[in-house]
Amino acid sequence: MSTWKENRDDLECCNSLEGIPKSNVKSMSLTAKVPHFHYVDEINCNALVELKTAFQKNNPYSDVKHTFLPILVKSLSMALTKYPSLNSCFREDSMEVIFKGLSLKHYRLNSRYVLLAFFEGSHNIGVAMATPNGLVVPNIKNVQSLSILQLARGSGILEKLAREKKSSLDENPPQMDGLKLIMMVPPKGTRVVEV
């Protein structure tokens, strides 16, 4: 809904945001507060191409299209399980890094106590999708519990809902969970992204 406001110097049109555009603005505003890091590297994807081809060739479901996206999302979830520091966020007021989904447990081992960290949380990974209505970033919940086939089915459904503007993003804006910190491996290039 648009409203017109007349000022002394000029005429303004105010357009209220609703639905997906409103969710996108909220999410982008939160994103601007997160420290950013740009990571560039080269990897050999021959095995990934073969895996995707094998999935599609042996696909018994005509409604499921196998793409690289479900494989990459599942791989990211596996990396988050192996390297829990990747699933973290930054608390600006106290200058702390918060590790999500970890629980600490004390165990007695040979007359000593050992503190171990276990992942008990969920991986909620946002995936950007270009639609006729603009960029939409639906959040795939509990990726650690989903198979690649379930992710392939789900990504097709999410894309269809986003294109038809039937996504539930209005009530649940995309979250910032996911890749925040990058594990330390020698990259081809890095830079801090200033916002």
Catalogue all structural domains in the chain, each as residue range(s) with its CATH number.
17-187 (3.30.559.10)
Most confident region among 10-14, 27-31, 79-83, 166-170 by mean pLDDT: 79-83
The Cα-based distances of 44 to 49, 50, 74, 111 in angstroms read: 10, 12, 18, 47
pTM: 0.60
- What's the one-letter identity of residue 32? A
Please tell me the predicted confidence (pLDDT) of residue 34. Answer: 64
CA distance 150 to 141: 12
Which phi and psi angles does 139 have, rounded to 5°?
A: -105, 115
**Predicted confidence band at 170 (pLDDT cuts at 50, 70, 90)?**
very low
CA 44 vs. chain centroid, Å, equals 23
Q: Which of 67-81, 87-101, 104-118, 126-140 has the highest mean pLDDT?
A: 67-81
Specify whether the CB–CB gap between 65 and 151 falls below 8 A: no
Cα–Cα distances in angstroms (integers) from residue 105 to residues 79, 114, 115, in the given order: 22, 8, 6
pLDDT of residue 11: 60
How many C-beta neighbours within 10 Å does residue 67 have?
15
> Which residues touch 94 (CB under 8 Å, ≥6 apart)?
none
Q: How high is the pLDDT of residue 95?
A: 80
* Separation CA 152–CA 146 (nearest Å): 10
